[in-house]
Amino acid sequence: MSDETYPADLRYHPEHDWVRVDGDEATFGVTWYAQDALGEVVYYDPPEMGATTTVGQSYGELESVKAVSDIIAPASGEVLAVNEKVEGAPELVNSDPYGDGWLIRVRLSDPSELDGLMDEAAYRDYLQGL
């Protein structure tokens, strides 16, 4: 398991998903809090390449020894890449949620949706209220 961390360069969704923006593209993953709550991740069910994500909607599933959880999109876009490393080694979500454990890359369809996400400080405050 990795140490609890929430990188300052990311934006956070209330369903414990993160987004790293690079121009009109973005990488999505789940936060340290999400992987910790899930426990040991044993399976990743990703979307198809070319599929569309919709902000606030499920785009795949992570299965742990405890439960199956929907992965919620922090923004809308077209799926450009799926992390095949995580398909083969889903435990990367636990060991490196912000690095090798990323889930998908998308081309953002409405970058203004990012304005509704939390920065690191707001996300930490949000976690305090849970």
Average pLDDT, the chain: 97
Identify whether the C-beta of residue 78 lies closer than 8 Å to the C-beta of residue 101: no
Quick: pLDDT tens for 44-55: 999 999 999 999
Q: What domain range includes position 95?
A: 11-109
- Residue 100: give its domain's CATH number: 2.40.50.100
Band (pLDDT 50/70/90 cuts) for residue 126 is very high
- The number of distinct structural domains making up the chain is 1
Asked, for residue 3, whether it belongs to a domain, the answer is no
The reported pTM is: 0.96
**Which residues are CB-neighbours of 123 under 8 A, at least 6 positions away?**
6, 12, 31
* For residues 73-79, average pLDDT: 98
Asked, for residue 2, whether it belongs to a domain, the answer is no
Identify whether the C-beta of residue 74 lies closer than 8 Å to the C-beta of residue 55: yes
Q: How high is the pLDDT of residue 16?
A: 98
Asked, for residue 31, whether it belongs to a domain, the answer is yes
Assess whether pLDDT exceeds 80 at residue 2: no
Q: How high is the pLDDT of residue 1?
A: 63
Asked, for residue 79, whether it belongs to a domain, the answer is yes
